[in-house]
Amino acid sequence: MNTILHEYIIFIIKIITIIIVPFFFIMLIYIGKQKNKNKFNIINLNKKYIFEQKIFYKEIYKKNIYKINKNKLENNYKTLQKQNTKNLYIINFNDDINAKDTNNIKKIISILIPIIKEHDEILLKLNSSGGFVNNYGLAAEQLKRLKNKNIKLTISIDLIAASGGYLMATVANKIIASHFAIIGSIGVISVVPNFNKILNKHNIEIEHHTAGEYKSTLNVIGKNTEHGRKKFIESLNRTHLLFKKFIKENRPILEIDKISTGEYWYAIDALDLNLIDKIQTSDEYILEKINTTNIYEIKINKNITFKQKLGESIKNLITKTIMKL
**By CB neighbour count within 10 A (0-12 exposed, 13-18 middle, 19+ buried), where does 121 fall?**
buried
Residues 127 and 114: their CA atoms lie apart, in Å, by 27
Q: State the DSSP H helix or E strand holding residue 92, giving kind and residue range, or none if neither.
A: strand 87-93
Q: Which residues contact 263 (CB under 8 A, 6 or more apart)?
A: 184, 185
State the Cα–Cα distance between residues 251 and 240, nearest whole angstrom: 16
The continuous run of DSSP H or E covering 189 comes out as: none
User: How far is residue 290's CA from residue 50's CA, in Å, rounded to a whole number?
Assistant: 10
Helix 63-83 to helix 45-60 angle (10° resolution) is: 170
What is the chain's percent helix, strand, coil content, to nearest 5?
55, 15, 30
- For 117, the enclosing helix (H) or strand (E) is none
Q: Among this protein's residues, is 163 annotated catalytic?
A: yes
Task: Give the H or E element holding residue 125.
Answer: strand 121-128
Name the amino acid, one letter, at 92.
N
State the DSSP string of 158-172.
EEEEETHHHHHHTTS
List the catalytic residue out of 128, 129, 156, 163: 163
List the catalytic residue out of 215, 302, 307, 324: 215
Q: How far apart are CA 291 and CA 78, in angstroms?
A: 11
The SS3 assignment for 293 reads coil
List, by residue number, the catalytic residues.
163, 215
